[in-house]
Amino acid sequence: MGSTCDNIYGTGLTLGLGFSSTANQKSRKQAPAAIRFDLSLSLTSDHQIYDQKTENKVNISSNKDQLSAASSYSNGSVKRERDIGSEVTQVERVISSRVSDELDDNDNDNDGSNARKKLRLTKVQSALLEESFKQQSTLNPKQKQHLARKLNVRPRQVEVWFQNRRARTKLKQTEVDCEFLKKCCETLTDENRKLYKELQELKALKVAQPLYMQLPAATTLTVCPSCERVAGAGQNSSKPHLYGPFTNPSAAC
DNA sequence: AGTATAATCACCATTACGTCA
DNA sequence: GGTGACGTAATGGTGATTATA
Q: Is the CB of A138 under 7 A from strand B?
A: yes
Q: Is the CB of A169 under 7 A from strand C?
A: no
Query: What confidence score (pLDDT) does residue A120 get?
Result: 85
CA atoms within 13 A on the CB side of A229: 25
Q: Which nucleotides of B are covered by protein (CB under 7 A)?
A: 6-14, 16-19
Nucleotide nearest to A83 (CA to C1'): B8
User: A37 or A232: whose pLDDT is higher?
Assistant: A232
A 10 A CB-CB count for A90 gives: 16
Question: For A3-26, how does the pLDDT look when each residue is reduced to its tens digit (9 = 90+)?
Answer: 222 222 222 222 222 222 322 232
**Å between CA of A248 and C1' of B21:** 69
Nucleotide nearest to A125 (CA to C1'): C9
Q: What is the mean pLDDT of residues A234-243?
A: 42
Q: How far apart are CA A148 and CA A232, in angstroms?
A: 72
Q: Is the CB of A69 under 7 A from strand C?
A: yes
Average of per-residue pLDDT values in chain A: 56
For A58, the 3-state DSSP assignment is strand
Phi-psi region of A96 (alpha: psi -120 to 50; beta: other; left: phi over 0): alpha
Q: Is the CB of A157 under 7 A from strand C?
A: yes
Residue closest to A73 by CA, chosen among A52, A92, A100: A100
pTM of full prediction above 0.75: no
Question: For A112-170, how does the pLDDT look when each residue is reduced to its tens digit (9 = 90+)?
Answer: 445 567 788 888 899 999 999 988 888 888 889 889 989 989 899 999 999 999 988 88
pLDDT band at A191 (very low <50, low <70, confident <90, very high): very high
**Å between CA of A104 and C1' of C10:** 15
**Å between CA of A210 and C1' of C15:** 67
As a dihedral over the C-alpha atoms of residue A24, residue A7, residue A58, residue A161, rounded to 10 degrees, the angle is -10
Question: For A41-76, how does the pLDDT look when each residue is reduced to its tens digit (9 = 90+)?
Answer: 333 333 333 333 333 333 333 333 333 333 333 333
Q: φ, ψ for residue A194 (rounded to 5)? A: -65, -45
Q: Which nucleotides of C are covered by protein (CB under 7 A)?
A: 7-15, 19-20
Q: What is the arrangement of strands in the sheet containing A48-51, beginning at the earlier edge strand?
A: A41-43, A48-51, A56-59
User: A97 or A221: whose pLDDT is higher?
Assistant: A221
Q: Is the CB of A139 under 7 A from strand B?
A: yes
**Å between CA of A244 and C1' of C16:** 63
